[in-house]
């Protein structure tokens, strides 16, 4: 158990002891990121006689598992989270309340995807009529302007062929759109890998031709977004993919409680293009291609008899939060001053998505044969995290999909990658030394606060008297469990500072003679805090997730600094973890690996509430990825810090020979 988990558990026990008054209090599950906000909500609710208890989980996926295990009663989530519930056998849940906008509280869906054309467009049918038109989109990867039209047009046989495995999934979609439409505006980041992004936009540049800035084809652009797609249509396009409410806004029509207002565009000159090829005036009811469901609240059927009470509790908490202008209304309940929780017909998550014709939009996977990015792992805990990551990544439109391969040890995984049984293995620097033996190379590496290396610092308890490393002679040291990179880095520093003689071989013995003991731990700071060591050597970037008030950092100048002021106190550089893949990967497969893993790295760094990619998994630290990593980045040629580390290991090997 890490320090963070220990403190969280303590908080949970205290909180539940103080606030839990009745066994029938409804329990909301929240990602650990917002647990403290949930406690504030719980305290405010108790004062207002609104009973609710907070259950902390790793992320929303973990919350669903807690609901399934009877440890919580309900959670707030997105349609993509509902998808995971629907497809992985969790069929005893219901969507019991929706989060709608005050602007459209009676609307069945969050938004409806439509295609808008000029009224006089000569189009006999969808299958033949769209070919060669000029198409206006909200942006790449977005729902109504990209995922929905691609999904529906592919199903109708309009977009394709989609069985070309000579390109990556994203390029396959772009290629199909480029072949279908003569020109378009599709802004955004087409690939998370900068060089690939440039290449794709050069290859399919007709998809940028209608943009305000065709050479950039990125945000901001007046022809992008919901209204921008309609502006693109009005100034030269033939079809715009957007949503109903923005059609009404753009053309000055009344919607919800908003009255009509004058506009320079004439709504009578435009029409909705229906999936069956017919057209309908935009001044009347829309014909939609699909819809995005509202966010909502998922509840276990074990509390079905309390659905009425649950709905009342959610509404009361919303009113309380609004009156208090509380931040927790957004972080915990996914509400805001522009939204309201609305009772809906109780429905299963799968039916909820299918009703909106949205289930297949999340499910789409056009690559034939289905390429995957398979991650090789070496223990059961890693496998479980990898499989959970793969599920959540797929629901969040990360393609090609991730998959997982279990082997017994590092060498077997490296061999599996070499033998094309897996695409990648995530290695610490010591493991990465074996890459050349298996014809592998680093494709990606972790970043730590956007830096490609880690600065190792010496951490001591605040009440200790140590001034520098020399004063730690004969004391106990805590080092990272996985691999020897931390050990080697500390050893290098001790040699440089002449605290260990460079002729004192073997170095492993010299290290244990300098320190009275060397303790290995997944979390060296935990080792220190719980009294197993006197000093912990840990990457500085890892300290932002620990108990900062109890420790200080020893700096090279002999000073001691609090954690938040010790950025310049690094003793020695440690290379990052690296994603190893075959050195002879084809351009297509390299593109696929980069796209899926870089997108996952960015998505879950920005939204750990979806999935905690960088953090404890079931109480274990640094599984697959470092807890303190901030993301992944593509390796252009070599990883400089790793090249330095290889030289260090070579020097140490001479002594140990």
509-568 pLDDT tens trace:
778 788 998 887 777 788 888 888 999 998 888 887 665 678 999 998 889 999 989 989
Coil, strand or helix: which one is 207? helix
CA–CA separation, 495 and 588 (whole Å): 46
Q: Which of 114, 185, 180, 178 is nearest to 143 (CA)?
A: 114
- In this prediction, residue 148 carries a pLDDT of 96
Q: Is 277 annotated as a binding residue?
A: no
- In this prediction, residue 14 carries a pLDDT of 39
596-624 pLDDT tens trace:
999 999 999 999 999 999 999 999 989 99
Q: Is 507 annotated as a binding residue?
A: no
So what CATH class is 372-447+576-652?
alpha beta
Coil, strand or helix: which one is 349? helix
Q: Is 523 annotated as a binding residue?
A: no
CATH tag, 111-292? 3.40.190.10
Give me the sign of the Cα torsion angle 322, 324, 326, 332: negative
- In this prediction, residue 548 carries a pLDDT of 67
- In this prediction, residue 146 carries a pLDDT of 97
What CATH superfamily classification does 454-573 receive?
Answer: Periplasmic binding protein-like II (3.40.190.10)
Tokens of 637: 């040629």
- In this prediction, residue 108 carries a pLDDT of 94
Strand 424-427: give its sheet, edge to edge. 401-406, 372-377, 424-427, 578-582, 440-447, 631-634
Count other Cβ atoms within 10 Å, centred on residue 199: 16
Q: Is 614 annotated as a binding residue?
A: no
Q: Which of 168, 636, 59, 62 is nearest to 398 (CA)?
A: 168
Give start-end residues of each CATH 3.40.190.10 domain in the chain.
26-107+295-360, 111-292, 372-447+576-652, 454-573
Q: How far is CA 31 from CA 291, 299, 592, in A?
A: 27, 16, 30
- In this prediction, residue 612 carries a pLDDT of 98
Q: Is 428 annotated as a binding residue?
A: yes
370-399 in b/e burial notation, b at 16+ Cβ within 10 A? Answer: ebbbbbbbbeeebbbbbbbbbbbbbbbbbb
pTM for the model stands at 0.91
Tokens of 77: 């989530």
Instruction: Tell me if 107 sits within 8 A of 293, measured CB to CB.
Output: no
Q: How far is CA 460 from CA 238, 538, 549, in A?
A: 66, 11, 11
Q: Is 142 annotated as a binding residue?
A: yes
> Which residues does 16 contact at the CB level (< 8 Å), separation at least 6?
53
Q: Is 146 annotated as a binding residue?
A: no
CATH tag, 26-107+295-360? 3.40.190.10
CA–CA separation, 19 and 41 (whole Å): 12
Count other Cβ atoms within 10 Å, centred on residue 89: 8
- In this prediction, residue 184 carries a pLDDT of 98
- In this prediction, residue 562 carries a pLDDT of 92
- In this prediction, residue 88 carries a pLDDT of 84
- In this prediction, residue 3 carries a pLDDT of 47
Mean pLDDT in runs of 10 for the chain (657 residues)?
Answer: 49 40 80 97 96 97 94 96 88 92 92 96 90 97 96 93 86 96 98 96 98 98 98 97 96 86 92 96 96 96 89 97 96 96 96 96 78 95 98 96 97 98 96 96 95 91 90 89 75 85 71 84 80 90 73 91 91 93 94 96 98 95 92 94 89 69
CA atoms within 13 A on the CB side of 118: 14
Q: Is 594 annotated as a binding residue?
A: no
């Amino acid at each position: 158990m890490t320090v963070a988990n220990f403190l969280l558990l303590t908080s949970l026990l205290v909180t539940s002891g103080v606030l839990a008054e009745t066994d029938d209090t409804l329990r909301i599950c929240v990602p650990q990121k917002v647990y403290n906000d949930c406690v504030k909500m719980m305290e405010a609710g108790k004062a207002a006689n609104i009973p609710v208890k907070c259950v902390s989980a790793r992320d929303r996926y973990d919350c669903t598992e807690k609901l399934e295990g009877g440890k919580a009663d309900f959670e707030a989530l997105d349609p993509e989270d509902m998808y995971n519930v629907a497809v992985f056998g969790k069929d005893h849940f219901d969507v019991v309340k929706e989060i709608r906008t005050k602007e459209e509280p009676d609307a069945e869906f969050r938004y409806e995807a439509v295609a808008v054309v000029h009224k006089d467009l000569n189009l006999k049918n969808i299958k033949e009529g769209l070919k060669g038109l000029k198409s206006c989109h909200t942006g790449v990867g977005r729902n109504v302007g990209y995922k929905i039209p691609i999904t529906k047009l592919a199903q109708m046989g309009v977009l394709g062929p989609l069985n070309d495995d000579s390109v990556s999934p994203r390029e396959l979609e772009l290629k199909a759109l480029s072949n279908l439409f003569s020109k378009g505006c599709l802004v955004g980041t087409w690939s998370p890998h900068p060089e690939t992004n440039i290449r794709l936009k050069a290859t399919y540049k007709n998809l940028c031709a209608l943009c305000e800035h065709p050479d950039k084809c990125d945000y901001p652009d007046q022809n992008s977004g919901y209204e921008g797609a309609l502006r693109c249509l009005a100034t030269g396009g033939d079809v715009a993919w957007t949503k109903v409410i923005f059609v009404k806004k753009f053309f000055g029509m009344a919607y919800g409680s908003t009255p009509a207002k004058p506009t320079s565009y004439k709504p009578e000159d435009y029409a909705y293009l229906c999936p069956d090829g017919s057209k309908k005036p935009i001044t009347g009811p829309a014909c939609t291609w699909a819809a995005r469901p509202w966010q909502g609240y998922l509840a276990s059927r074990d509390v079905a008899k309390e659905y009425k009470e649950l709905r009342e509790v959610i509404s009361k908490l919303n009113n309380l939060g609004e009156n208090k202008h509380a931040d927790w209304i957004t972080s915990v309940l996914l509400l805001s001053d522009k939204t309201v929780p609305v009772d809906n017909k109780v429905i299963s998550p799968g039916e909820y998505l299918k009703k909106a014709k949205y289930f297949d939009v999340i499910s789409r996977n056009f690559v034939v044969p289905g390429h995957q990015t398979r991650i090789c792992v070496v223990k059961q805990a890693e496998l479980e995290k990898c499989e959970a990551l793969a599920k959540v990544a797929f629901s969040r439109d990360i393609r090609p999909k991730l998959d997982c391969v279990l082997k017994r040890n590092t060498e077997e995984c490296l061999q599996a990658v070499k033998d094309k049984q897996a695409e990648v293995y995530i290695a610490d620097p010591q493991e990465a030394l074996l890459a050349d033996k298996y014809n592998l190379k680093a494709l990606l590496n972790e970043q730590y606060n956007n830096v490609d290396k880690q600065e190792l610092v010496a951490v001591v308890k605040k009440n200790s008297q140590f001034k520098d490393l020399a004063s730690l002679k004969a004391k106990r040291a805590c080092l990272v469990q996985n691999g020897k990179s931390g050990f080697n880095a500390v050893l290098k520093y001790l040699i440089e500072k002449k605290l260990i003689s460079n002729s004192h071989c073997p170095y492993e013995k010299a290290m244990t003679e300098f320190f009275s003991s060397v303790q290995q731990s997944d979390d060296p700071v935990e080792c220190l805090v719980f009294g197993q060591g006197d000093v912990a050597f840990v990457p500085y970037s890892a300290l932002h997730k620990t108990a900062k008030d109890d420790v200080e950092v020893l700096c090279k100048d002999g000073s001691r600094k609090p954690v938040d002021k010790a950025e310049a106190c690094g003793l020695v550089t440690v290379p990052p973890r690296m994603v190893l893949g075959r050195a002879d990967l084809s351009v297509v497969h390299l593109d696929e690996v980069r796209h899926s893993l870089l997108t996952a790295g960015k998505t879950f760094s920005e939204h750990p509430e979806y999935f905690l990619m960088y953090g404890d998994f079931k109480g274990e630290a640094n599984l697959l990825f470092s807890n303190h990593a901030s993301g992944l980045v593509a390796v252009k040629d070599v990883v400089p810090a790793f090249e330095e580390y290889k030289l260090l290991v070579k020097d140490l090997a001479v002594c140990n020979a």
